[in-house]
Amino acid sequence: MNSFLYGVERLEIGKVLQIASQKVSGQLGAEARQKVENCFQQVQQIVANNQTVYGINTGFGILANTKISEEDTRLLQHKILQSHSVGVGEAIPVEIARLMLITKVHSLAQGYSGVQVATLERIIWHIENNIIPVVPDKGSVGASGDLAPLAHLFLPLIGLGEVWVDGKRQKTGEVLSRYGLAPIPLGPKEGLALINGTQFILAYAINGIQRLHNCLEAADIIGAMSLEALTGTKAPFDERLHALRPFGGVQLVAQRLRMLLQRSEIMQSHIDCGRVQDPYSLRCMPQVHGASRNAWLHLKELTEIELNSVTDNPIVFAHDDTISGGNFHGQPLALPLDYACFAAAEVGNISDRRCYLLLEGKWGLPMLLMRNVGLNSGFMIPQYTTAALVTENKTLCFPASADSIPTSLGQEDHVSMGSISGRKLNTILNNLEYILSIELLTACQAIEFRRPFKSSEILEFAHGLVREYVSFAEEDRVFADDINQIKNIIADLSFVERVNGFADSKGWYLNKAWEGFRI
């Protein structure tokens, strides 16, 4: 298995996802160990010299001016994990908690946080053995670090809290006993270093980047299938047109649509139909999907900066040099996460419009995509679901980062609320996966009314993938079953991976020359 060195190598989103899926092993190498140990010793010296440094021998937040005795500095770090474990709500997905662990190790391993090597080794043990802490989803305001979720994440280090083992919640103490492990006695500053940071926001950003990228890839494929079913034209995707307004995401989508539609019999069958222009939801796919691609790229670039940053407080540089700053403030990710919410919602918005077009009974398609409507409602009602989900997504687009409520008796008087931005994005993406699933089902139904003409090889392959799970609908049935089947193959990435893989096998690289837009 390939390995990655925490705190030394640059961590990119693709790599962190590989570590999370255990395709790559994250390790603490000799260089990182030395940096971490040196910094830990500097903290020990601060305590021994009775220097006053925030969070090492003072209280926290509004209690920053309360001095803590040398003998209580370790107890202080234990208590901060307990006192800050105030999260509520449902447990976050295991994959999010795992990403939090990975990103926290990488930040601490850079050697500016004053933690012990043993503490990092224990966190890595949790990652490698897939024993993942249970973390509630609500309680962070996204500044002073993601305090509540990070406190819950690291309760297992001191033998408290719960962990996921083989899909079941278990008491940490019982699990540690089975493995012959004892709780970690935290050193000065360690508790604060563990809960200061943006890893809750960051983990949701990473997960959202992967999911939004998958949805954007799927939306191009599905949109092209809808265009084929509606006998639309590919002229608006001409390379010359988009060179005149060269937004990267827009040009990428136009290129993908050109390749997805190449050598289509359906396209050739209506080349002289006389229709002047298609509706915007077909004609403007490059501009709408492409704008969302640009938003995705912005989030990806900023997330990778955060991935390789030190975000706790205070920062320990060397000897007596410590700085209390605000690297824990989540605003740098809160804003692009809210932007990504808009981007994801708009992909669903335009997808719903294409669903509606497919049902109107225009351009040779039967109304509601069934021959015998009246007795049958056809595909009328699945579009009700897309309409409901699109509206729900719109209500989720209020930017959490536009709000701030003071905490810690005014000491922490501006906070980012980025944790809410991250959770909202992933809720919107869940809805978007359903919307795209319904468009895909609808487009596949419609394309069969264009027979004997066939679409391009790529789109026929995509159509065949759907038919592995869902058959053509001659009459009404429980369409929720079909929707869930197709949602699963979109959400688990397999639809996009198989279509892209087929295209690559034919030498048609759908993302060729667009390195920045890949994970």
What pLDDT shows up at residue 64?
A: 66
CA angle 55, 57, 60 (to 5 degrees): 35
What pLDDT shows up at residue 183?
A: 97
Nearest to 103 by CA among 208, 189, 13: 13
- E strand or H helix at 322: strand 321-323
Which residues on neighbouring strands pair with residue 315, listed in sequence order?
Answer: 323
Q: Which residues, at least 6 apart from 219, have a Cβ–Cβ distance to it below 8 Å? A: 289, 347, 351, 436
Structure tokens given for 270 = 């209506």
Q: Give the global pTM.
A: 0.96
Annotated catalytic residue within 6, 54, 112, 339: 54
What pLDDT shows up at residue 59?
A: 67
Residues 510/219, Cβ–Cβ less than 8 Å: no
Give the residue ranges of the chain where pLDDT is below 70: 59-64
Question: Rounded to whole angstroms, how far apart are CA atoms 374 and 103?
Answer: 56
Whether 54 is catalytic is yes
What pLDDT shows up at residue 69?
A: 78
Question: Rounded to whole angstroms, how far apart are CA atoms 270 and 273?
Answer: 5
Amino acid making up residue 413? D
Question: Rounded to whole angstroms, how far apart are CA atoms 317 and 431?
Answer: 45
Radius of gyration of the chain (CA): 26
What pLDDT shows up at residue 73?
A: 75
Q: Please count the helices (runs of H) and the strands (runs of E) in the chain.
A: 20, 9
What pLDDT shows up at residue 448?
A: 98
Residues 276/345, Cβ–Cβ less than 8 Å: no
**Domains annotated on the chain, with CATH:** 2-197 (1.10.275.10), 204-311+325-514 (1.20.200.10)
Structure tokens given for 494 = 């397999």
Amino acid making up residue 374? G
- E strand or H helix at 162: strand 162-165
Nearest to 61 by CA among 150, 149, 147, 158: 147
Structure tokens given for 116 = 């012990």
What pLDDT shows up at residue 74?
A: 82
